[in-house]
Amino acid sequence: MTNTWTDIGNADLVLVMGGNAAEAHPCGFRWVTEAKSENKARLIVVDPRFTRTASVADYYAPIRTGTDIAFLGGLINYLIENDKIQHEYVRNYTDVSFIVSEGYSFEDGLFSGYDAEKRTYSDKSGWTYELDEDGYAKVDPTLQHPRCVFQLMKQHYSRYTPELASQICGTPVDRMLKIWEEIATCSTPGKTMTILYALGWTQHSIGAQIIRTAAMVQLLLGNVGMPGGGVNALRGHSNIQGLTDLGLLSNLLPGYLTLGLDAEQDYDTYIAKRAPKPLRPGQMSYWQNYGKFHVSLMKAWYGPAAQAENNWCFDYLPKLEYGGAGYDVLRMFDMMSRDEVTGYFCQGFNPLAALPDKNRVVKALARLKWLVVMDPLQTETSEFWRNAGVYNDVDTASIQTEVFSLPTTCFAEEDGSLVNSTRWLQWHWKAADGPGESRPDIWIMSGLHTRLRELYRTEGGVFPDPILNLHWPYKVAHEPSAEELAKEFNGYAVSEVTDANGNLVARPGQQLAAFSQLKDDGSTASGCWIFCGSWTEQGNMMARRDNSDPYHMKQHQNWAFSWPANRRILYNRASADPQGKPWSERKKLVWWNAESKGWIGTDVPDYNASLDPEAGMNPFIMNPEGVARFFAVDKMAEGPFPEHYEPFETPIGVNPLHPKSRKVVSSPAARVFDSVWETLGTAEEFPYAGTTYRLTEHFHFWTKHCKLNAIAQPEQFVEIGEVLAKEKGIVAGDRVRVSSKRGFLEAVAVVTKRIRPLQVNGQVVHQIGIPLHWGFTGVTKPGYIANTMVPFIGDGNTQTPESKSFLVNVEKV
Ligand SMILES: Nc1nc2c(c(=O)[nH]1)N[C@H]1C(S)=C(S)[C@@H](COP(=O)(O)OP(=O)(O)OC[C@H]3O[C@@H](n4cnc5c(=O)[nH]c(N)nc54)[C@H](O)[C@@H]3O)O[C@H]1N2
Ligand SMILES: Nc1nc2c(c(=O)[nH]1)N[C@H]1C(S)=C(S)[C@@H](COP(=O)(O)OP(=O)(O)OC[C@H]3O[C@@H](n4cnc5c(=O)[nH]c(N)nc54)[C@H](O)[C@@H]3O)O[C@H]1N2
Ligand SMILES: [Mo]
């Protein structure tokens, strides 16, 4: 989230699109209710289904799954054509005036640099700005240059007319225009819209680009950095934000630092590439501090072993292959199917139920020598080898995999912190001991570490150093406490730390107060630089529970700790104009106080707190250009401007933006393994668009172990619109079989008015809703796994599976 849960209450307009917040985030949804009651905010919902969120909306529009770029691209076109733009914001705080390199082009649905054989953009050299002699980006403040970002963007989205957008999305033109008109009112400075999304946007082969399109809309409206604005991912598990913060994805290090590539064996080159010089005069380019964060991380991990002479143990870190693809779950399971993986530690994850193409996942697990499942419960994954009849039809005797179950405790049985969507680190306290033989995850992992280390010490190995030299200063080696780990993530002084003027900042062993104190000389250690400030010499900031709100801005500065630097709204410098004056009195957040010569306000300024606005430093300090990007430069897999591509299983078989091309029907840069093509179905065989989702009454695949949840939602059902049900002779309560190219499930039919047929590209498209919670363990009725249906396809940037749009057929059984 750029903003916070509580800040949703500041919005004048709430757009829920690509999520169903009332159902999946029922507690957080109270701030939407607050915005409605306190600000008379309006709520817009755009969803293939008329959901529980839609039921309290002021405007609802249906949309075909996987087509949000067309809807939002049309909106960009509408805002530009009707001049509904926050001009001063856009001119000063975005890259509209930047001139793009001559090497950039976009033709027939493809950007420059595409390699059709590798299905990837192997040459992104044209996706940049033109530079002057000093290495600064060239700009044209008049916005007239034919290759300035504004002109290119305008041209790109001029194709997204209301008629074409409607033809792709199936949303009726009048409904679309009504919603666009409502959104356009937020281009005035005193009015903000917040966008709330989740999986309805992420789980597509073009998911990351859908979210970028949303960010572009918010920039045109001047809504980023504003109270009640922003682009807000309502995250899933209680600590999934913490997972990415701590770098648990295979290509990341903590604090969004990145692993080196194979071609980056040289330490200085590795750092220099990640610490870019400013692209415009007077800009900050905050990542120039990368080295300080990296060295502090290595000091936390390797302690005394990390020294300047050995590049702070840089060689201990693995490097990614060419292209930087990590070992995401799709790739891991693909490697498993090809016998490239011997054993698998599965911790707090139920891939058999959660990953696409369940039958493929079963086959992959069956090729392992061993599988360790660390979980408080029995899961489908820990029992993948069990013949559960039709629900898991396997020949147990032929499976060699040895499965070890290590029962763990769960969050209520341990102390620790959770990072919520809002970036708040909130401490929680143990409520009870875990039952039976269960042990905390930390205990199990530390025990494993102690034993591995002992083996390396006594028997040696190919490269024992990273294990033997791991810094392990905890009081009880086999069980570091949550407090010890939290203090290490925050960071401490290794030796005396002084500031630029030689004043003492911290004595050895003291906790650091902020990441601005981190150094690249080995005097500081910090396990995750963005968490710096969460456990200082003043104590555990995450445990703070003061919910006062003296300025009535819903910022709650003394509740828990918000990374970075306890800042609640990211890019908040953008809430004031270039002179440092709030764009509007109603939405003031931080501003320049000429008397005290400092930035003040109700949030921690996202900026150098004493820098005069005269200096001209812009708000987007993490970008070397200092401004936000409409043109994504070389960051994205599919191109600098989002383009609509169809889901890999498309009910219409063409991309109406490029009706003559076969090459760009679906994303030309998505994650598709060779063996997956033959598992994709076509609309002739599977004519309906299927989508999967969750219900309030269950949490994924584990509440089916609880009787109360099981009573509330006892068995698998699917939702079918009335028109299709009639065509198929299906009535409510019938058993139906829903099949895709990859398998089928049987379920109870719910016939509903809430899913209507859509007119798409001259044909009727029916959508079918498949909730995802059931399986063959627990106390609900044994059932099929929804993911049997889903294709093994991923987004080209995030590798997130396309579980929201695929093709199915439905028959009465
Ligand atoms: N009760 C409960 N709450 C949960 C969870 C749970 O299992 N149970 N899971 C948690 C987790 S981990 C997560 S990630 C979040 C997920 O939170 P959400 O994303 O809100 O949950 P989903 O039910 O997957 O909802 C997706 C919604 O997007 C719609 N949709 C599908 N495709 C499209 C599309 O192409 N465009 C648009 N505009 N909409 C589309 C679906 O119809 C559905 O209403 O929920 C969290 N909260
Ligand atoms: N088709 C389709 N597939 C989807 C989705 C979809 O919308 N559609 N949503 C996707 C999303 S967003 C998500 S997040 C995944 C969810 O997929 P998973 O994360 O696999 O599902 P969960 O059941 O939430 O959690 C996995 C396990 O964690 C265990 N657990 C809980 N606490 C602890 C603990 O403290 N320690 C350990 N070791 N284990 C613990 C639980 O008992 C549970 O068995 O599913 C994904 N799959
Ligand atoms: Mo999730």
DSSP 769-792: EEE----SSSSSPP---GGGSS--
Identify the H or E element spanning 748.
strand 743-752
Distance (Å, whole) CA 568 – CA 602: 10
Distance (Å, whole) CA 638 – CA 111: 8
Tell me the sheet residues that pair with 100: 129
Model confidence pLDDT, tens digit, residues 470-494: 999 999 999 999 999 999 999 999 9
Q: Give the side-chain half-sphere CA count within 13 A for 480.
A: 20
User: Can you tell me which atom of ligand 1 is nearest the CA of 700?
Assistant: 7
In three-state form (DSSP H/G/I as H, E/B as E, the rest C), the secondary structure along 470-513 is CCCCCCCCCCCCHHHHHHHHHCEECCCEECCCCCEEECCCCECC
Stretch 687-711: mean pLDDT, rounded? 98
The letter for the amino acid at 489 is F
In terms of Cα–Cα distance, which of 115, 10, 52 is closest to 575? Answer: 10
Model confidence pLDDT, tens digit, residues 497-515: 999 899 999 999 999 999 9
Distance (Å, whole) CA 236 – CA 381: 20
User: Can you tell me which atom of ligand 1 is nearest the CA of 20?
Assistant: 20
Ligand 1 pocket check: which of 44, 203, 804, 805 to mutate, most ligand atoms within 8 Å of Cβ? 804
pLDDT confidence of residue 322? 67
Backbone angles phi, psi at 34, to 5 degrees: -60, -45
Distance (Å, whole) CA 117 – CA 662: 15
Stretch 117-121: mean pLDDT, rounded? 95
Residue 604: which pLDDT band, with cuts at 50, 70 and 90? very high
User: Can you tell me which atom of ligand 2 is nearest the CA of 240?
Assistant: 14
Q: Give, using CA atoms, the residue closest to atom 46 of ligand 1.
A: 236
Mean pLDDT across the chain, nearest whole number? Answer: 97
In terms of Cα–Cα distance, which of 365, 367, 368, 390 is closest to 379? Answer: 365
Distance (Å, whole) CA 106 – CA 121: 13
User: Can you tell me which atom of ligand 2 is nearest the CA of 702?
Assistant: 23
Q: Is the pTM here over 0.95, yes or no?
A: yes
pLDDT confidence of residue 533? 98
Helix 68-81 and helix 162-169, axial crossing angle in degrees, nearest 10: 170
Question: Ligand 1 centroid to 706 CA: how many Å?
Answer: 22
Question: Ligand 3 centroid to 334 CA: how many Å?
Answer: 21
Identify the H or E element spanning 365.
helix 358-365
Q: Give the side-chain half-sphere CA count within 13 A for 28.
A: 26
Domains of the chain: 671-812 (2.40.40.20)
- The token pair that represents 480 in the structure block: 């570091």
In terms of Cα–Cα distance, which of 41, 27, 491 is closest to 295? Answer: 491
Residue 724 has pLDDT above 80, yes or no: yes
Return the ligand number nearest the Cα of 439.
2
Distances in Å between the alpha carbon of 692 and those of 150, 235, 285, 634, 716?
A: 37, 17, 41, 32, 12
Q: What percent of the chain has pLDDT over 90?
A: 98
| End-to-end CA, the chain | 45
Cβ < 6 A, ligand 2 pocket: 199, 203, 236-237, 347-350, 354, 374-377, 379, 408, 410-411, 441, 692, 699-702, 772, 786-787, 790, 803
Q: Look at strands 416-419 and 424-428 and give their pairing.
A: antiparallel
- The token pair that represents 164 in the structure block: 């074409």
Ligand 2 pocket check: which of 199, 244, 700, 804 to mutate, most ligand atoms within 8 Å of Cβ? 700
pLDDT confidence of residue 326? 83
| The residue to which tokens 């597509």 are assigned | 204
The letter for the amino acid at 464 is P
pLDDT confidence of residue 628? 98
Residue 323 has pLDDT above 80, yes or no: no
Residue 618: which pLDDT band, with cuts at 50, 70 and 90? very high
In terms of Cα–Cα distance, which of 238, 62, 205, 68 is closest to 769? Answer: 62
Question: Ligand 3 centroid to 202 CA: how many Å?
Answer: 10
In terms of Cα–Cα distance, which of 698, 776, 804, 803 is closest to 394? Answer: 776
Cβ-based neighbours of 751, under 8 Å, separated by 6 or more: 720, 721, 722, 725, 730, 731, 732
Which own/partner contact pairs does 598-603 have at CB distance under 8 Å and 24+ positions apart?
599/573, 601/572, 602/551, 602/553, 602/555, 602/557, 603/553, 603/555, 603/557, 603/567, 603/568, 603/569, 603/572
Q: Is residue 798 a contact partner of residue 708, using CB atoms and an 8 Å limit?
A: no
Identify the three-state secondary structure at position 448.
Answer: helix
Model confidence pLDDT, tens digit, residues 144-183: 999 999 999 999 999 999 999 999 999 999 999 999 999 9
Return the ligand number nearest the Cα of 691.
1
pLDDT confidence of residue 609? 84
- Dmax of the chain from CA atoms? 82
Identify the H or E element spanning 373.
strand 370-375
pLDDT confidence of residue 325? 75
Stretch 368-390: mean pLDDT, rounded? 97
Model confidence pLDDT, tens digit, residues 566-594: 999 999 999 999 999 999 999 999 999 99
DSSP 154-204: HHHHHT--HHHHHHHH---HHHHHHHHHHHHGGGSTT--EEEEE-HHHHSS
User: Can you tell me which atom of ligand 2 is nearest the CA of 202?
Assistant: 12
